[in-house]
Amino acid sequence: MKLLIDAGNTRIKWALVDEGTWLRSGVLPVEQAGELSHQFAGLQGIRQIWVSNVAGEEIAQHIRNAGAGLSVQPRFIVAQEAQCGVRNGYSSPSRLGSDRWAALIAAWHLVRGTCLVVNSGTATTVDALSATGEFIGGLILPGVELMQRSLRDAAVQLQAAQRQPGQGEYVPFPMSTADALYGGALQASCGAIERQYALLGDGSAPVVLSGGAEAVLRNRLNVPLRIVDNLVLQGLWLIAQETNA
């Protein structure tokens, strides 16, 4: 039995997996990371814990504490030069975020060919895989909500117009400030994804889309889509399988 944990900037997602069967899963806000031990208290038979953590050392310590309660030492993944069929072309391979690495591995095993891997959360990552499984580079940009929040916080006149990100609606030509903020963030995200897709030069390649903002992006993207839930957790499972082989 394996416990998989994806600690992102906003949420901690986890899944309990046994021999390829996904038994249970959960989500916890990062600020409630101290409750992980309580959330895992009823889980039994866990032999391994595999973790992607991009939320910092304090969150890592909460995960270690939760692992201690289960008598299992968590294994925190780090991007490698090559793993699970994917080759890492990053200038310093280990500096690639563990979440991006796990997502790339999961996408490769789903597509087995050229694709764009988009994970849309607090940040949106747009990473490219070649036809032979080489990570050839990618982008990091603010997520849809973060774009709105950062612009609103930086401009006094915008603060009253949109007190919370997501209050606007998408219209082609916005006629309110709230809609303009929302539409601008959405169009910027879609534009970045579609420009990177064009650079791939393969109109048959899919965009593998995952993450919390997937629902707002999917209907605005003019590219072939493959929607996948929990891409990072799936990558963790593959890494665990190869490591134990």
pLDDT digits (tens, 9 = 90+) for 34-88: 999 999 988 889 999 999 999 999 999 999 999 999 999 999 999 999 999 999 9
pLDDT digits (tens, 9 = 90+) for 145-170: 988 888 777 765 566 555 555 578 88
Which residues have C-beta within 8 Å of that of residue 198, sequence separation ≥ 6?
A: none
Instruction: Place 198 in a pLDDT band, splitting at 50, 70 and 90.
Output: very high
pLDDT at 165: 52
pLDDT digits (tens, 9 = 90+) for 95-139: 999 999 999 999 999 999 999 999 999 999 999 999 999 999 999
User: Is 99 marked active-site?
Assistant: yes
pLDDT at 41: 86
Spatial distance between the Cα atoms of 132 and 113, rounded to a whole number of angstroms: 6
pLDDT at 168: 84
pLDDT at 141: 96
- Mean pLDDT over 14-26 rounds to 92
Which residues have C-beta within 8 Å of that of residue 9, sequence separation ≥ 6?
A: 30, 54, 55, 121, 122, 123
Domains and CATH numbers, the chain: 2-76 (3.30.420.40), 82-96+113-144+178-229 (3.30.420.40)
pLDDT at 244: 82
pLDDT at 245: 52
Which is catalytic among the residues 6, 18, 99, 229?
A: 99
Instruction: Place 178 in a pLDDT band, splitting at 50, 70 and 90.
Output: confident
Q: Facing residues of 134 across strands?
A: 87
pLDDT at 20: 83
The answer to whether the CB of 186 falls within 8 A of the CB of 218 is no
